Structure 1
């Protein structure tokens, strides 16, 4: 299926713009309050890591996410978030009337309102699985199975009994992902072909589905499972796979081939979620459409205040057509930061700006809320 078939109609997009923008009014400031969530638990990668990677012994303060300009817009300091400010999970927490999630690795942290187990660079498949395919994980070894192990240890130390855990988790929201994109990224940078990467997709989706089963068996009854961004629109991919072949790009100058892999992943994930709903009929398992939420930023860029000439460029970066150089990324010496990050979708060529995450989170919450069945 072509990437353009994933786009909603232009008339619907206009409606969505006004619907999402209306969520900024005071009446809609905390829409997830309707669900009365007491905790949020997050599994995932750099799209939702609020500080685990920078606390891991292997890297710690050596990662660029541990220093400015990361975090400069909101926190005025680096927190380990891979953005200039807030992430989507921060906006989800706000919408639920909860504090920002504390990373699991913050040993003295306050976990009364949930725990963030996500780690930047994490994969859905284990490092052992990937190593057997000669795919090296270069950022973190805290894959999805490791995060689930952390979650198990946390619940075992928190709940007196299984029934106690189930009672507590009835008022919790679980975010299983986004995760999986690093499996494909590491495979691509390791020299795997698009077809070889596509062959990995069923195993990646299977790992995510198993994670959903695990959290439901703990007692989760409301689980959000995000898909993957159109990575062919990101500066890192546009730079690595740059070509003079015009038919390789869509109307938004996104690369079709990697986006088609993402579409395949998202379609399999939706199919897996449908099967999980039959397996667990008393749990609300909701797909979060990151793909179309991201594409919506492109189609409505001018309405949302983004610079139409910089949609494929990084705010923090240097060099090339997309202001991105993998050998000299954001945080490195002499890498500059744009003066107006709010007008950019991409922060560092890999991750998005706070403003982009804000709009995506608002749209996703708007779409997800009715499916969570919070009124039952």
Structure 2
């Protein structure tokens, strides 16, 4: 470990206890808007607007119809919006009936940090990488200023944010899982590890770009335990000793996720010293999701690798809402009887019940660095 890394970590630890004490004295933030960037974990309908909308039973629990979310109901970003008292975020790519008065969502299912070199039609990789999402935000911000200041029509102004509110907005980011998944598909374990610094470097570049465009409050999720997703565990047959961890997750896939998270956290510490007007909170989603999987039954859920909607196994994948063949029989991937007791909605994404549990686990800041509640994340850390 180099001297700079040791120095930054020591300073961070020395400020941690003071931050916990100081937070109680901080006033709640008044966020006029939230701008979200990410992949399907926080996509509220972007990829559905760009390509094919999801079919039933998607959205059945809360919205009672498909609404572009990869779940039976609300996502973590929806529960964050509820916690902050703002409406659910409209996707930037959805032009029909959308209001952006309190923010916009640039996340799209299948999005990556790196520029994609695969097709959405082939592997479900979004063409809207984090770099493109930033460009879309830039266009959104610039055009908002024009329409609000020049057009001055009541209907337009009612649906768009106030230009002066961008600097006070909360910027949430949840992305990286698909970069790791792409590496698992295409690279050796050593190649995957070697690719992470470049991925983090690109991530950091886009955070700097947002800062240059006036973003000041960042709430950054690390990536979850990808080796615990049922889509990974159900493909395992007669594993070698040590291939799975104590809770049945694919160990080397989680190791890649943890390396990504460690490098991201270190990068966030560096950015705090560079972006001196920014408040940057690093949120440990990995710990929240892994805790849920490890203690599923204690939290009121069934087996952590049960899939509510879809069939996945050795040699077949029938995605939620589709028909397919399993062992010679045609099946329809419908919803399970009670999604509220299942962690995984479709083998990759979480159910509304799981998303709600995870959101409650993170909004108070107990899994954040610094330990800052989302309601007070606008206050700059020393």
Give the TM-score, by structure 2 length: 0.79
The answer on whether the counterparts of 2:311 and 2:317 sit within 8 Å (CA) in structure 1 is no
The answer on whether the counterparts of 1:166 and 1:220 sit within 8 Å (CA) in structure 2 is no
CA deviations over 1:176-235 (Å, ceiling 9, x no partner): 2x212112212323x321222222111111111111111111212210111111011111
Task: Report the equivalent of 1:84.
Answer: 72
CA deviations over 1:283-310 (Å, ceiling 9, x no partner): 1101111100001212332332112xx2
The answer on whether the counterparts of 1:137 and 1:186 sit within 8 Å (CA) in structure 2 is no
- CA distance in structure 2 between the partners assigned to 1:251 and 1:116 by the alignment: 37
- Pairing of 1:246-257 with structure 2 (within 5 A): 246-257=241-252
Task: Report the equivalent of 2:100.
Answer: 111
How many Å apart are 1:171 and its aligned residue?
2.2
- CA distance in structure 2 between the partners assigned to 1:268 and 1:319 by the alignment: 32
CA deviations over 1:104-130 (Å, ceiling 9, x no partner): 0112410010000000001110125x7
Which of the residues 79, 86, 89 maps onto 1:98?
86
Is 1:181 the equivalent of 2:169? no
How many Å apart are 1:160 and its aligned residue?
5.3
Is 1:171 the equivalent of 2:168? yes
Which segments of structure 1 move beyond 4 Å, counting only runs of 4 or more? 371-376
Task: Report the equivalent of 1:285.
Answer: 280
Task: Report the equivalent of 1:328.
Answer: 318
Task: Report the equivalent of 2:347.
Answer: 349
- CA distance in structure 2 between the partners assigned to 1:224 and 1:373 by the alignment: 7
- Pairing of 1:102-181 with structure 2 (within 5 A): 102-108=90-96, 109-128=98-117, 138-159=124-145, 167-176=164-173, 178-181=174-177
Is 1:42 the equivalent of 2:32? no
SS at match of 1:285: strand
SS at match of 1:287: strand
Superposed CA RMSD: 2.4
SS at match of 2:28: helix
Larger Rg: 2
How many Å apart are 1:365 and its aligned residue?
0.6
Relative to structure 1, the CA distance from residue 70 to residue 349 in structure 2 (aligned partners, 3 Å threshold; closer, same or farther) is same
- CA distance in structure 2 between the partners assigned to 1:361 and 1:336 by the alignment: 26
- CA distance in structure 2 between the partners assigned to 1:216 and 1:326 by the alignment: 44
- CA distance in structure 2 between the partners assigned to 1:70 and 1:287 by the alignment: 30
Query: What is the number of equivalent residue pairs in this alignment?
Result: 325
Relative to structure 1, the CA distance from residue 283 to residue 244 in structure 2 (aligned partners, 3 Å threshold; closer, same or farther) is same
- Which runs of no fewer than 5 residues in structure 1 stay unpaired? 1-32
- CA distance in structure 2 between the partners assigned to 1:291 and 1:373 by the alignment: 20
Higher mean alpha-carbon deviation, 363-372 vs 248-257, is at 363-372
How many Å apart are 1:244 and its aligned residue?
2.3
Relative to structure 1, the CA distance from residue 150 to residue 137 in structure 2 (aligned partners, 3 Å threshold; closer, same or farther) is farther
How many Å apart are 1:325 and its aligned residue?
7.0
- Which runs of no fewer than 5 residues in structure 2 stay unpaired? 1-26, 148-160, 324-331
The answer on whether the counterparts of 1:84 and 1:347 sit within 8 Å (CA) in structure 2 is yes
SS at match of 1:247: coil
The answer on whether the counterparts of 2:111 and 2:128 sit within 8 Å (CA) in structure 1 is yes
- CA distance in structure 1 between the partners assigned to 2:55 and 2:269 by the alignment: 41
